[in-house]
């Protein structure tokens, strides 16, 4: 599969919801002998499921991860996907960027399209406080379910207190792990 084919399929399916597309060349291989083209584009949060469904219609689709960060007034999510995953014709890497406003941190879940997205969506619930509408499970993967903070949020008022408690806990437990061994 060629990056241009994927790009055209997304443009056709999403129209105005497919914004600022770029084909970014990236050298690969031990001696950087080959160049692959990756697709980067912005998609509004409500169009993410349509974009993912379009990519899945092109061949085997793999989600690497949804990365995310607090970008000030909004949370930025980056969906890193491989179209044509494991096929002889090769795969095309696609990164879809969406912005989620902090005053309404919701985005549709893509688990109904790609069940493998569940863990990475649950991680963003824990760390950034993003609500994935339609996700099958909401329990935490890495942090205690009752933890009242979202550690990757810059505006989280309780993070400093949480970090202070963690440092104090560590100080109180130094050397105790190795004492019993």
**Per-residue pLDDT tens digits for 9-32:** 999 999 999 999 999 988 877 877
pLDDT score for 181 = 46
Give the pLDDT score at 170. 66
Q: Which pLDDT does position 177 carry in this prediction? A: 55
Block residue for tokens 């069940």: 115
3.30.365.10, 3.40.50.170, 3.30.460.80, 3.40.50.800: which CATH number matches 3-116? 3.30.460.80
What's the length of the chain? Answer: 181
Q: Which two tokens stand for residue 11?
A: 């443009």
State the pairing for strand pair 106-108/131-133.
parallel
| pTM of the predicted protein model | 0.85
Chain-wide mean pLDDT for the chain? 88
Report how far residue 142's alpha carbon sits from residue 135's, in angstroms, rounded to the nearest whole number. 17
Report pLDDT for 1: 81
Per-residue pLDDT tens over the stretch 67-117: 999 999 999 999 999 999 877 777 899 999 999 999 999 999 999 999 999
pLDDT band of 169, cuts 50, 70, 90: low
- Above pLDDT 70, what percent of the chain? 87
| Per-residue pLDDT at 90 | 79
Quick check: 37 pLDDT over 90?
A: no
State mean pLDDT over 54-66: 96
Torsion over CA: 70, 71, 77, 82 (sign): negative
């Amino acid at each position: 599969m060629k990056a241009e084919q994927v790009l055209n399929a997304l443009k056709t399916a999403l129209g105005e919801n497919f914004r600022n597309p770029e084909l970014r060349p990236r050298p690969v291989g031990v001696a950087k002998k080959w160049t692959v083209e990756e697709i980067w584009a912005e998609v509004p949060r409500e169009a993410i499921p349509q974009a993912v469904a379009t990519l899945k219609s092109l061949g085997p689709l793999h989600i690497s991860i949804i990365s995310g960060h607090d970008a000030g007034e909004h949370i930025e999510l980056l969906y890193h996907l491989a179209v044509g995953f494991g096929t002889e014709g090769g795969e095309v890497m696609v990164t879809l960027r969406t912005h989620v406003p902090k005053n309404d941190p919701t985005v549709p879940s893509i688990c109904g399209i790609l069940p493998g997205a569940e863990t990475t969506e649950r991680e963003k619930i824990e760390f950034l406080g993003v609500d994935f509408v339609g996700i099958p499970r909401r329990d935490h993967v890495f942090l205690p379910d009752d933890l009242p903070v979202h550690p990757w949020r810059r505006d989280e008022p309780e993070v400093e207190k949480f970090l202070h408690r963690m440092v104090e806990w560590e100080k109180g437990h130094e050397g105790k792990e190795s004492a019993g061994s």
